[in-house]
Amino acid sequence: MAIITKQDILAALQRLGEMAAAQGDQIELVLIGGAVMVLLFGERDSTRDIDVVIQAPSDVSKVRVLTKLIGLERSWSEDWLNDAAKGYLVGLSDGPIVFSAPGIKVRRPSFAQLLAMKLSAWRDELDITDARRLLEELLGNREEVWNALSPYVVPGNELKAKYAFEDLWEAVHGND
């Protein structure tokens, strides 16, 4: 896997938009996972891939063909932009646009949904670090924050996510 920096993400998305516009398409993506952390917070320098949900065009194979070409141009794997993390999505919240250029518009889900995804996965130190940063973005007391993110927890992972949330809350806010 490649190491993809913030500048790489922006350049690759720009290129993807240019290529889409050249063939008369408009790409709409929802950015999830580590790329959000790299772009928005600078908490980490890079990610291994860019996890997205492809919303447009309806024929997602068009996007896959273009991303494969960009992967070749940049010596990245052909799945540098992929939808593998969609298994951690329950619904899709409407977050703000984080990147826009001719031929492409990229937004992110709400911070509550991103945190729910991290809590549902809860695999390694990277997930914990990302979750801690996302928790800092959410306002409210413990119950209010849990209630905001719990609808997005992956079914079957509720208990794991709840325990992870409780540990995370205490690490960030103490026992209040």
Asked if 29 and 120 count as a contact pair (C-beta separation under 8 A), the reply is: no
Q: Model's pTM, two decimal places?
A: 0.93
β-strands 81-82, 50-56 pairing: parallel
User: Which pLDDT does position 1 carry in this prediction?
Assistant: 64
Give pLDDT, residue 87. Answer: 86
Instruction: Give the residue ranges of the chain where pLDDT is below 50.
Output: none
Residue 106's pLDDT is 98
Q: What is the largest CA-CA distance in the chain?
A: 55
Q: Report the SS3 class of residue 73.
A: helix
Query: Do the beta carbons of residue 18 and residue 24 sit within 8 Å?
Result: no
Write the pLDDT tens digit of every residue in 23-46.
Answer: 999 999 999 989 999 999 987 899
pLDDT value for 84: 87
The pLDDT assigned to 153 comes to 97
